Structures are given as C-alpha cells and as structure tokens.
Chains A and B, each alone.
Chain A
Amino acid sequence: MLDKRVYINSIAGISPSMAAKGFPNVGEPDYKEYVPDPGARRRMSRIIRMGVASALICLKESHISSLEGIITGTGWGCLSDTEKFLNSIFENSERMLNPTSFIQSTSNTIGAQVALLTGEKNYNNTFVHGGTSFEAAMIDALLKLQEDSCENILVGGLDEMTPTKSHLLGRMGVWRYTSPGEGSHFFVLSSVLEKSSIAEIVTVETFSRDGLPAGYSLVDKHIDKVFSGVENNGGLMTDSKVPVVNFKELCGEYPTSTAFALWLACDTFNKDHAVNNILIVNKHLRDNLSLVLVKRAVL
C-alpha cells in the first residue's frame, strides 16, 4: 500500500527487567554521559532518563546527518511524576505546589525532552493507546516517511513500572500469570537502505481486543521465528514448525513491550544469520492485538 520501503537503521534500548536476569549491556547506563547537567538529571524521573538516554544512544549510533521527526509511544505515560504531583496536592492542601512534576506528567515529555536536547524542530508526536501505543507510533512514522523531504525518524516505545502501578496491577490479579516489566527502546526508521541497515519493516497492524479477524491468515507469510507476547498462541499460527519465543519472559509485562520485541528481532538479525523473517505478535492484558513483521535488510 505504501510506496516507500522503511528500514531500521539504528537501535538502542534499556531493559531493566532483562538486566536483572543477568544479560549484559541492557540495563540503565551512566546517565551523566547523556544528561551532563546534574540539576536537569535530578529533575528527570526514571522514565524520562531511560527515554532520553536510549533515544540519544540510538541517534549517536545511527550516524545520520538529518532527522525529520521524533515519535514516541507510551501506554502508561509518566506515572511517577503524575503520582508525585497528585500527592503534593493532598499534602500541601493545593498551596505552593512545585510545578516540575506537573510539567513532566504529560505523556509527550520524553519526545519533547529529546527535541530540546537535540534542538530538533521537526515533526514531534506521542501516542498513548495502551498496548498498541508503540505500534501507532510506527504507523505514524511509516506514513511520514512517504514524504519526499523525510528520510529519518526516531521512534521509541517506553514505559516505567512504579511501586504503585505494580501494587495496583497485583490487586487486579495480573501478576498471577505474568511478571512486571518496563523498558525503553528507540529506533531510527529510514526510507534509505544503508549498508548498516538492520531490518526492513514489512507490516505493522493493530486489531481489536478480540484478536485476528475471521479469515486472517499467516500461512502465506514466510516466517522463521515468532516472538510472542500473547498468553495463548492458539489459532494464530497454523504451521507449528515455526519456533515461538515468549519474549515477555525476558522483558516482563508492560504496554510498549512490542518495542522490546522489535529490538530483540534486530538483535537476532545481527547475531543469527540463519534467521531472516520474524513475526512479532503481542497483546498487553486486555488491550488490542498487534502484529509486526520484519525481515533482514539486505543492500
């Protein structure tokens, strides 16, 4: 449907859940390197620090000369700043409140901070649609990249787990069948195929909460591996020979975990030359189902 093909030319991610399981180089970095101003660093909540650092690493490693947009997706938004400001309202009886946590409570804070730190005045958008926030950000980027004047867009998916969020989801019974997760992953999506291109995005689709529409078939799609974040994979795959990896065993459960799965797919292309096509299937709790199909980029 879209004329121009879109490639993933750079990736970066922070996955505290994966780091806790002993994987190297995926945890939180030394933020001093990315936000040198100690005051600014202190004011940033953890999701902002994780988001800004992974975005800047992704840009640095991309070696691109121009960036035409920054698009983020976050299902939960800036939870800790929201809670901090709510608490301050109650604690101080609405008087003399510090506006910092209010300012940083809006979901577009990370995209805005990246724009500020890079002086990037182009397209800037933020999606907040639960378990398909990152998918919508990717679709927005695919469309924007169709324009002649647009070659590179930074796209990220991120969520933070806070003690309150974890406690509340626990009260709802969620942790009986999955474990808490969080993370921030950014990608440079480009309309230009480079020698360093890692993957090509074949499709990004979102569906209703009920799953795939009747008659939707994956049989005709050539797939080497499935990264699944869906509790029950039944009905999605008819060819059982394709290996299925439950990626949430690595990253935990959070709305934008598709961004983690996409990072993992790119990492797999980099490390395993026998894998050329990966399908990501995901569904966060009772949110909408999504499919992302990527293949190895070949110049």
Chain B
Amino acid sequence: MVERRTMKVFFLGEWPRRLYVALHEPVRPARVGLVFCPPLWVEMERTYKHFARWAKKLADDGVAVLRYQPYGSGDSDGSMSNFSCDSAQADALAAARCLRERTGVKTLGIVGLRFGGSIAVHSASVIQPDFLVLWSPIANLRQYCRELLRMRLQKEVIHQQCDEVKVTTSDMVKELEAGSCVDLMGYDLSPELYRQMNAHPSWPESPPAGRVLWLDLPHGRRNADPIVKTWRERGCRVETEYSREAAFWDDSFTAPVRFEALSSKWLEGQ
C-alpha cells in the first residue's frame, strides 16, 4: 500500500528547553494545518493514543497535524514544577510557528481538548489561527483547579484505601500559597500554575478566530452558552454540538468517536 502520509518526531528548540513534537504530513501539500493542544496530566495520558491515531488519519486526508507536549510534560524537557499557563501558551505559539514554517500551510487551525482548549483560546490572539476546534474546553480554570486538588483525595480513598484523607484541599491551598508545589497523583502542581489558574481572567470577549467548532457534553452547555453568544454577537461563526459522548478523558479505553467524526466532517469544509 502506498503511504499517504509521513510522520516526523523531533525536538523543537534547544536543550534544556526542548519541546517534543510529532508532525504528521500528507505526501501531497497539505490543504490545512492543525496544532493539537493537549489536555493536562492524566487527561493527556489517557487521550494521547486517540489524538495520535486521529492525527495519522487526518494526514491521510490531506491535513498536516502537529502534536506537541508542553514544557515540563511528557517527553519534553523540564519538570512538571516548571509548567504554567504562561509556558503552555508560549509552547502553543512555538508549535504553531513550527507548523507554519515546516509545511507552509495557508490555513491554520488549533484543536484543544479540556485544558488545551483553554490554552488554545488564550493564545489565539498571538497565534491568529483561522479557526479553532474546542473539545470540552475548560472555561473556568479556577473551578478546574479545585477539581484537580480533589483528585488527590479521591485517589487516597479509592486507590490507597485510606479511611481518612491525609490532607484536605485547604491544606493543599495553604501549601501552594506558602510557595510549595503540591503533589497531585505524582504530578507537581506549582504555586505559579495554581496562582495563574485562580487569577486567570475569564475568556476573551473578542472571538479567538473567525470560525469555531465547540463540541461539548450536555452539561458543558451552561459554561459554553454565554461565551458562544458573545462571540457570535461579535461576528464569529461558532458551531456548537452537545453530544452524549462519554467523557473519554476520564477513561483510557473510550475513544472520542463522535467528537472525532464531527470534527473531521467540519474540517472538510475549512
């Protein structure tokens, strides 16, 4: 069978601040370029396989895809305590620049899942993509941060079968405010990331791109609606779909079948 795509894995930037990158390119010149902004921590692990597989499929269909692992995560340099919202946005920008330079694509889009969706939106003003594809983006980082802290308590009760948790969320908040990292299931939450997630402004009122596809679960609608309304009022073409897809980032074995199909179809029109 004739290969319709190529795949290159490389480090972007110089040691010790290299980003691990996988670039999928169609053999023919790509019609569209996509940067995948990954979610955070365990969600990145669980969805990695699915994103990699989808990227290969998209490249078969003529789309160039660049997947990257933010600084301090995955196979990139740096430790998790170096990871912050600012560094994640800088990495998204570096990834977009790399894709443009390497492939020469005229049309560039960003796909962001969960925390990656938030990073995609916040970095769009600098990257200036033609479109965004958001999969259940985290619109409220403060609330998400609380959920991350609770993750540790869940782990102690469920996986370590503790009758009582060793630390409470308020203990962890105190630790972070005192300038120490907090260990969340093996991931370091840095005081800087905590501060940024809590202080992070609400999503920009100006649309991040001319066209946006927002896919979410039904319960995500409450967060999405006001933002979508504002963006539409400002001339953005936003399409939304609230699908009964399982929360695939919570379960490694569930593939994002519906999100993938809807996005692929939407991308054909770009």
Query: Are A and B physically bound partners?
Result: no
